[in-house]
Amino acid sequence: MFRLTKRSVEALELRGTDYIEWDRDVAGFGVRVYPSGKKAYLVQYRSGRRTRRYTIGSHGVLTADQARAEAKRLLGDVLRGDDPSATRQDRRRAPTVKALCERFLQDYAAVHCKPSTNRSYEMLIRLHIKPALGPMLIQDVTRADVAALHLKLSADAPYQANRVLSLLSKLFNTAEDWGLRAEGTNPARRIKKNREEEKKRYLSDDEQMRLGRVLNDCLEDGSETVFAVSAIMLLMLTGCRRNEITTLKWTYVHYTHLDLPDSKTGRRRIPLPREAYEILMNLPRGDGNPYVIRGLTEDGHLTDLERPWRRIRSRAGLPDVRLHDLRHTYASVAMQNGIDPFTLKEIMGHRNLQTTLRYAHLADDAVQRAAGSVASRLADAMRRQKRDDRPGLRVVS
């Protein structure tokens, strides 16, 4: 044994098989000499009852002194209970972000999420997450990696960038739950999302009348199907979400309510006004088709309400109104007519009251009118009292 130096390592002879020459100063530090002439520094140690070897690097890439310093560090880790060789093997077997995405979609999203949410996740993963982070090991992804992806997407699609950021946060939280990443190391944490301004559009009384006229005209001239027109009318009269109407089945329909076994917020019981019930009862039914709003197939429902809606809104002079704005309009009319937020929350199927309170400002006009009415009555009473108090105007019994 001798001290491994650049000169002594380069002077080692080549043999028919590989062999190890150990360092004199650091126990467990050596260099392996291969018949091809390659030389690699290594460290040998015991882990439990096993003797293990860990390759530090090749001679030439590392000097003997650099390899010796790394050997001392590794042997120090061993004394503290680490196993460098096992750690390296675990790292080589560690799953990538691509593998995490595939497992997430199969074992988490498919079980816990609605099909529409699952499809959204699949799209974001396929278009953005896999191309950018897929080959990386799960534990190697840093906050800088996630921030760079979010910044890149924000240039053209800031809202989409926020959706990707939220999904990445969920992915890495799940990875922590599955033991694939250390707890509390989610790299998507504390990355600021882009500011989003909620789109709110409410139909005025005049716009509501214009839309109603166009819907009736479409039924009369046959330019749109009775199912598309009825679906839009039902959205206005119930405040339902689009999919709640387009996937509505006859078995869910009752005289006073709609009983949806599943919706965005779970099971829902939706009040059914008389006008909406009459629309439903006037719709033709198809043998073997369970859906109220029938589509192109014999047993399917309407899957594309957007194209009829674009034609109808253009005809009504409402080019900026979305289908979802009909739901906003329902909520705004309800709030302006004095329905309290707690009741409206149940009608709309909101998860929490905070969502419903977004419409609270719409009740300002109604509150102002009510306050004005009260003040007017009080003022009249006070004026009458003042007149009664004038000399000569008192009523003598």
Question: Could you give the CA distance from residue 125 to residue 168 in angstroms, rounded to a whole number?
Answer: 9
- pLDDT, one tens digit per residue, over 94-153 is 689 999 999 999 999 988 888 888 999 999 999 999 999 999 998 899 999 999 999 999
- Structural contact between residues 117 and 109, judged by C-beta atoms closer than 8 angstroms: yes
- Structural contact between residues 27 and 46, judged by C-beta atoms closer than 8 angstroms: no
- pLDDT, one tens digit per residue, over 24-50 is 999 999 999 999 999 999 999 988 888
- Structural contact between residues 192 and 151, judged by C-beta atoms closer than 8 angstroms: no
Per-domain boundaries in the chain: 6-93, 97-177, 205-361
In this structure, whether the domain defined by 6-93 belongs to CATH 3.30.413.10 is answered with no
- Please report how the helices 324-336 and 226-238 are oriented relative to each other, as an axis angle in degrees rounded to 10: 40
Token pair of 244, please?
């709640």
First-residue to last-residue Cα distance in the chain: 132
Q: What is the CATH number of domain 205-361?
A: 1.10.443.10
Question: Could you give the CA distance from residue 161 to residue 150 in angstroms, rounded to a whole number?
Answer: 5
Quote the pTM value: 0.57
pLDDT of residue 80 exceeding 90, the answer is no
Q: For the range 115-122, what are the long-range contacts, defined as Cβ-Cβ under 8 Å and sequence gap of 24 or more? A: 116/243, 120/163, 121/167
Outline where 257-359 has alpha helix (H): 274-281, 306-315, 324-336, 341-348, 353-356
Average pLDDT, the chain: 87
CA-closest candidate to residue 341, choices 326, 328, 359? 359
3-state secondary structure of 47: strand
Which residue do the tokens 């009459």 mark?
A: 278
Question: Could you give the CA distance from residue 333 to residue 329 in angstroms, rounded to a whole number?
Answer: 6
3-state secondary structure of 54: strand
Q: Report pLDDT for 397.
A: 38
Question: Could you give the CA distance from residue 99 to residue 102 in angstroms, rounded to a whole number?
Answer: 5
- pLDDT, one tens digit per residue, over 326-365 is 988 888 888 877 777 787 777 777 777 776 766 665 555 5
Q: Do domains 6-93 and 97-177 have the same CATH topology?
A: no
> In terms of CATH architecture, what is 97-177?
Orthogonal Bundle (1.10)
- Structural contact between residues 58 and 39, judged by C-beta atoms closer than 8 angstroms: yes
Q: What is the pLDDT confidence band of residue 396, given thresholds at 50, 70 and 90? A: very low
